[in-house]
Amino acid sequence: MTQNATAQKIARRTGLLAALASLALAVAPAAGIASTPVKFGAKLNSTVQPSNSLPGLTCNGPETPLTACTMVLNEAYGRPNGGELAPKTGTIKKLRLIAGGPGSFRLMAVKHINGTDAKVTRRGQKISYRGQVESAEEEGDYKVESFDVNMQIEKGMQLAIRGNITSMIRCSSGGDNTLIYSPPLFLGGSFTPASSTDGCWLLMEAVIR
């Protein structure tokens, strides 16, 4: 092989390696952006008080026996004007919550249209939470509980729970912050109007990856 041919071969190889390096640099930031976690639902931190959360929000009012229902996070505490909606399609990998006392629920996601009409689109795992310690109120430092989950969600869907009572709430306002469906919605069902609404916020935040 002549010296000139060898030089050309080295130049081609160098050019190929440079092109591959440039491509890697271009792809790396995009991959990083794609994996950046996105949060929606209530904006939670240790200063968020689950005010008036006990004995808990029930499906049909405090004077009736406990029955199951679906509760939909319709207004996101700390994230007004659309914070209740999933901002992108992806997988919920973590659920964070603040509750006054212990309880449990089945995590769900719903599609919501035409006022209060909603239907269940995803059914997640059952979650049991502990609530606050006695000193939380005095210290103003509230425990944010975190749970690993794996539930697919599409852009525009909302968080929901199925249960019969929850203290995972902040009650200091009015309006339709929580939509209540009794009897509960079920996966595969049709759009159903809410049976009632409540002014308490559901203190629940999802992390999408």
Containing domain of residue 5, as a range?
Answer: 1-36
User: Look-up: residue for tokens 């060898």?
Assistant: 6
Residue 126 and residue 157 in one domain: yes
- Tell me the sheet residues that pair with 163: 69
Q: What are the phi and psi torsion angles at 184 (to 5°)? A: -65, 155
4 and 71 both lie in a single domain: no
The total domain count for the chain is 2
Measured between alpha carbons, how far is residue 186 from residues 39, 83, 113, 140, 161 in Å?
Answer: 25, 24, 16, 38, 11
9 & 108 share domain: no
pLDDT the model gives residue 1: 52
Encode pLDDT of 140-174 as tens digits: 999 999 999 999 999 999 999 999 999 999 998 78
> Cβ neighbours of residue 37 under 8 Å, at least 6 residues apart?
93, 94, 207, 208, 209
Do residues 7 and 109 both lie within one domain? no
pLDDT at position 22 is: 53
**42-53: pLDDT as tens digits:** 999 999 999 999
Res. 10: pLDDT tops 50? no
Please tell me whether residues 64 and 93 are part of one structural domain.
yes
Instruction: Say which residues have a Cβ less than 8 Å from residue 152's Cβ, sequence separation at least 6.
Output: 90, 91, 92, 122
Residue 194 and residue 135 in one domain: yes
**55 and 20, same structural domain?**
no
Min mean pLDDT across 37-41, 88-92, 109-113, 133-137 is at 133-137
204 forms beta bridges with: 97
Same domain, 20 and 72: no
Ranges 17-21, 96-100, 181-185: which has the least confidence:
17-21
Round the CA-based radius of gyration of the chain to a whole number and report it.
24
CB 50 within 8 A of CB 203: yes
Q: Quick one: 12 and 90 in the same domain?
A: no
State the Cα–Cα distance between residues 154 and 63, nearest whole angstrom.
Answer: 37
76, 29: one domain: no
Same-domain check for residues 32 and 48? no
17 vs 98, more confident: 98
